[in-house]
C-alpha cells in the first residue's frame, strides 16, 4: 500500500521525528511505499509528492521545521480543492494519509475523511490547545525556550531595576505563557482565558517594589486582552482558516505600565524563536511515539482518528471529538502559578 504523510499549519519542533517514525515503521514493519506531500494540503491539491525512503529520513530526528514544508492552505477555500485532493489521492494510489497538524489541518482531515480519504491524525501545535490529548508535540520545546528566556530576562531586569514583559505565542489559549511563567517564576501571567485588569497588574508590580523588589517579569500570551477591551492585533487580515494575526499586547502593556506607575519597562516578543529549532528530548520521544502509533492505526485500518497521549498512555480518539473544539488552560494550574504573583 502507498501511504502519504503531510504536515500542515504552523510548524512545531518534532514534525520530522514523527515523519521518521511513520516512514521507518511503515517501510520496515508493514512494507508500505511511503511518500511525502509537499507543503500541507496545498501539495495534495497540486499533486506534489516526494519519495520517502530510509535515506530521506536519516538524521532528521533532531531537526526543527518540516522536511516536507508546511502551509496554511485550506482546500475548502479553493475552487474544487477538496475534489482535486480526492482525485489526486486516487490517481496516485494512496491507501492512507497521515496528517500532522493542529486544529485547522485536522479539521480538514476530518472533512476529507468523511468524503472518503482515509486519514489518521497526529496532534501538533506549540499552543497545546487540542482536545483529546494531554500534550501536543512541540509544546514542551516552546515552553523550554520561553523558560530559558525568562531566566535570562530576570537577571537583566534585576540589574536594571526594570519591568520586563515577555510576549509569547498562544492566540486563544495561554498554555505556553502559563507553563513557562510557572517554570520561570513570572511575577504575573496574562492569558487569553482570563482578561486582565491593568490596575491589578500595576498593583502586583508595586507590591513587589514595596518589598524592595524593584524589578518584575511579566509573561503575556499574544491573545490576552484587557478586561475592558479587545485583543490587540498585528493585522486584521485573516488566513484561509479565518485567523487574524495577533501581536502587540506586550507593547500595549509596557506603555500602560510606564504611564501608570512610572517604572521603566522593556518588552520582548519571543515570536518564532519559540517555534524554530531542535525539539527537546520530551518532544522527540512524544513525536516518535505518536508516529509509531499513527502508522499502526493505518495498518489496523482505523481511520478518522488521531493519536493522543493521556496520562503516559498513547491512545487514539475520533477526529470528530477533537475538531472545532479547544483545550483551554487548567485553571487549577493557573491558581498555583498565581501564588507567586506580586
Ligand atoms: O502554531 C500556532 C501559532 O503558534 C499561534 O500561537 C500563533 O498565533 C501562530 O502560530 C503564528 O503563526 P504564523 O506566524 O506562522 O502565522
In sequence order, the β-bridge partners of residue 96 are 3
Q: Is residue 328 part of a domain?
A: no
- Find the CATH number of the domain harbouring 171: 3.40.50.460
Amino acid 228: pLDDT: 87
**Residue 55 in domain:** yes
> In ligand 1, which atom is closest to the CA atom of 272?
14
Tell me the angle at which helices 81-92 and 103-114 cross, rounded to the nearest 10 degrees.
70
Residues 105, 45: one domain? yes
CA-nearest residue, atom 10 of ligand 1: 10
- CA torsion angle 6 7 13 18 (round to 10): -30
**What's the whole-number average pLDDT of the chain?**
97
Domain count, the chain: 2
Confidence class for position 15, pLDDT limits 50, 70, 90: very high
Kind of pairing between the strands at 233-235 and 245-246:
antiparallel
Do residues 39 and 10 make contact, with C-beta atoms less than 8 angstroms apart? Answer: no
Domain that residue 40 falls in: 2-137+277-321
pLDDT score for 241 = 96
Residues 42 and 166 in one domain: no
Distance 121 CA to ligand 1 centre (A): 19
What are the pLDDT digits (tens) for 253-268? 999 999 999 899 999 9
Buried b (16+ CB within 10 A) or exposed e, 192-202: bbbebebeebb
Cell of 93: 494510489
Average pLDDT over residues 299-310: 98
Q: In 10 A of CB 31, how many CB atoms?
A: 8
Residue at 120 is within a domain: yes
For the stretch 51-78, pLDDT in tens is 999 999 999 999 999 999 999 999 999 9
- Residues in CB range of 169: below 8 A, 6 or more apart: 126, 127, 142, 176, 221, 222, 270, 271, 274, 275
- Which of 171, 175, 176, 271 gets mutated to test ligand 1 (max ligand atoms within 8 A of its CB)? 171
Question: The C-alpha cell of 140 is what?
Answer: 514542551
Note whether 73 and 39 are within 8 A (CB): yes
Catalytic residues: 127
Which pLDDT belongs to residue 220?
Answer: 98
Cell readout for 275 is 517555534
- What's the average model confidence in pLDDT over 8-22? 98
CATH number at residue 81: 3.40.50.450
Nearest CA to ligand 1 atom 7: 169
CB 164 within 8 A of CB 265: yes
Q: Are residues 260 and 294 in the same domain?
A: no
User: Which pLDDT tens digit goes with each residue over 122-163?
Assistant: 999 999 999 999 999 999 999 999 999 999 999 999 999 999
In ligand 1, the atom with minimum distance to the C-alpha of 222 is 8
Query: Looking at the structure, do residues 59 and 131 belong to the same domain, yes or no?
Result: yes
Q: How sure is the predictor about 102, in pLDDT bands with cuts at 50, 70 and 90? A: very high
Q: Is the pLDDT of residue 291 over 90?
A: yes
pLDDT band, residue 101 (cuts 50/70/90): very high
Residue 44 grid coordinates: 495534495
DSSP E strand stretches across the chain: 2-7, 33-37, 49-51, 94-101, 119-123, 163-168, 188-190, 216-221, 233-235, 245-246, 265-269, 305-310, 313-318
Residue 311 Cα to ligand 1 midpoint, Å, equals: 27
Q: Cell numbers for 234, please give them.
A: 498585528
Spell out where 93-162 has E strands. 94-101, 119-123
Residue 88, classed as helix, strand or coil, is: helix
Ligand 1 pocket mutation, candidates 9, 10, 106, 222, criterion most atoms within 8 A of CB: 10
Residues 92 and 215 in one domain: no
For the segment 267-279, the average pLDDT, to the nearest whole number, is 98
Q: Identify whether residues 10 and 130 lie together within a single domain.
A: yes
Specify the pLDDT at position 213: 97
Cβ of 305 less than 6 Å from ligand 1: no
Angle between helices 198-210 and 249-261 (to 10 degrees): 60
Q: Which pLDDT score is estimated for 229?
A: 86
- Both 145 and 248 in a single domain? yes
Which atom of ligand 1 approaches the CA of 12 most closely? 1
In a domain? residue 183: yes
Q: How far is the CA of 247 from the centre of ligand 1 (A)?
A: 10
User: Relative to the CA of 275, which ligand 1 atom is closest?
Assistant: 4
- Domain assignment present for residue 326? The answer is no
Does the global pTM surpass 0.75?
Answer: yes
pLDDT per residue as tens digits for the range 221-263: 999 999 988 899 999 899 999 999 999 999 999 999 999 998 9
Amino acid at each position: 500500500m502507498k501511504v502519504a504523510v503531510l504536515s500542515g499549519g504552523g510548524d512545531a519542533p518534532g514534525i520530522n521525528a514523527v515523519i521518521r517514525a511513520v516512514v521507518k515503521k511503515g517501510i520496515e514493519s508493514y512494507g508500505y511505499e511511503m511518500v511525502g506531500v509537499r507543503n500541507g494540503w496545498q501539495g495534495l491539491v497540486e499533486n506534489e509528492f516526494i519519495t520517502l525512503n530510509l535515506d530521506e529520513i536519516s538524521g532528521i530526528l533532531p531537526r526543527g521545521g518540516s522536511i516536507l514544508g508546511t502551509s496554511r492552505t485550506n482546500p475548502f477555500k479553493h475552487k474544487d480543492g477538496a475534489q482535486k485532493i480526492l482525485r489526486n489521492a486516487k490517481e496516485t494510489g494512496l491507501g492512507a494519509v497521515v496528517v500532522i497538524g493542529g486544529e485547522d489541518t485536522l479539521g480538514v482531515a476530518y472533512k476529507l475523511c468523511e468524503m472518503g480519504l482515509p486519514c489518521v491524525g497526529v496532534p501538533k501545535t506549540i499552543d497545546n490547545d487540542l482536545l483529546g490529548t494531554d500534550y501536543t508535540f512541540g509544546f514542551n520545546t516552546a515552553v523550554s525556550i520561553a523558560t530559558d528566556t525568562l531566566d535570562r530576562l530576570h537577571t537583566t531586569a534585576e540589574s536594571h531595576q526594570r519591568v520586563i514583559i515577555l510576549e509569547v505565542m498562544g492566540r486563544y489559549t495561554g498554555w505556553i505563557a502559563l507553563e513557562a511563567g510557572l517554570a520561570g517564576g513570572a511575577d504575573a501571567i496574562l492569558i487569553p482565558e482570563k482578561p486582565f485588569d491593568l490596575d491589578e497588574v500595576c498593583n502586583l508590580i508595586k507590591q513587589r517594589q514595596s518589598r524592595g523588589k524593584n524589578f518584575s517579569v511579566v509573561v503575556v500570551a499574544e491573545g490576552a486582552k484587557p478586561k475592558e477591551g479587545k485583543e490587540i492585533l498585528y493585522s486584521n487580515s485573516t488566513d484561509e482558516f479565518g485567523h487574524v494575526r495577533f501581536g502587540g499586547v506586550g507593547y500595549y502593556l509596557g506603555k500602560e505600565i510606564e504611564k501608570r506607575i512610572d517604572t521603566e519597562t522593556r518588552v520582548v516578543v519571543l515570536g518564532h524563536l519559540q517555534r524554530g529549532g531542535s525539539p527537546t528530548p520530551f518532544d522527540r520521544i512524544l513525536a516518535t511515539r505518536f508516529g509509531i502509533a499513527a502508522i499502526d492505526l493505518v495498518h489496523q485500518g482505523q481511520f478518522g482518528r488521531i493519536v493522543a497521549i493521556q496520562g503516559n498512555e498513547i491512545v487514539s480518539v475520533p477526529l470528530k471529538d477533537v475538531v472545532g473544539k479547544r483545550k483551554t488552560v487548567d485553571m487549577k494550574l493557573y491558581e498555583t502559578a498565581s501564588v507567586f504573583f506580586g
